[in-house]
Amino acid sequence: MSAKFYAGRVIENRHWTDTLFSLRVEGPRLEFEAGQFVRIGIEPTLVRAFSLVNPPGDPVLEFYGVVVPQGPLSPRLAHLKKGDVLQVASNPAGFLVLSEVPDAETLWLVSTGTGIAPFLSILRTETPWRRFRNVVLVHAVRYARELAYAELITRILQQRPSFRYVTFVSREPTPGSLAGRIPAAIRDGRLEDAAGLALGLRSHVMLCGNPQMLKDATAALAERGMRKHRRRNPGHIAVESFW
Ligand X SMILES: NC(=O)c1ccc[n+]([C@@H]2O[C@H](COP(=O)([O-])OP(=O)(O)OC[C@H]3O[C@@H](n4cnc5c(N)ncnc54)[C@H](OP(=O)(O)O)[C@@H]3O)[C@@H](O)[C@H]2O)c1
Q: Which residues make up the interface to ligand X (CB under 6 A)?
A: 19, 66-69, 112-114, 140-143, 146, 168, 170-171, 181-183, 209-210, 212-213, 216
User: Of 5-13, 59-67, 125-133, 226-234, which part binds ligand FAD (CB under 6 A)?
Assistant: 59-67
From the list 11, 73, 144, 179, which residue makes contact with ligand FAD (rule: CB under 6 A)? 73
Alpha carbons 186 and 168: distance in angstroms, whole number: 12
Chain Cα centroid distance, residue 14: 18
Residue 80 contacts ligand FAD per CB under 6 A: no
From the list 22, 114, 167, 203, which residue makes contact with ligand FAD (rule: CB under 6 A)? 114
Give Cα separations from 68 to 20, 99, 120, 194 (angstroms).
10, 32, 22, 31
Closest contact distance (angstroms) between CB of 243 and ligand X is 9
Alpha carbons 51 and 18: distance in angstroms, whole number: 21
Alpha carbons 82 and 208: distance in angstroms, whole number: 29
From the list 33, 62, 146, 240, which residue makes contact with ligand FAD (rule: CB under 6 A)? 240
Q: In 10 A of CB 52, how many CB atoms?
A: 27
> 23 to 52, contacts with ligand FAD by CB under 6 A?
37, 48-51
Tally the residues of the chain: 243
Cβ atoms 118, 78 nearer than 8 A: no
Closest contact distance (angstroms) between CB of 139 and ligand X is 9
Q: Which of ligand X, ligand FAD, none has residue 65 at its interface (CB below 5 to 8 Å by kind)?
A: ligand FAD
Cβ atoms 112, 140 nearer than 8 A: yes
Instruction: Name the residues that contact ligand FAD, by CB under 6 A.
Output: 37, 48-51, 63-66, 68, 71-74, 94, 113-114, 117, 240, 242-243
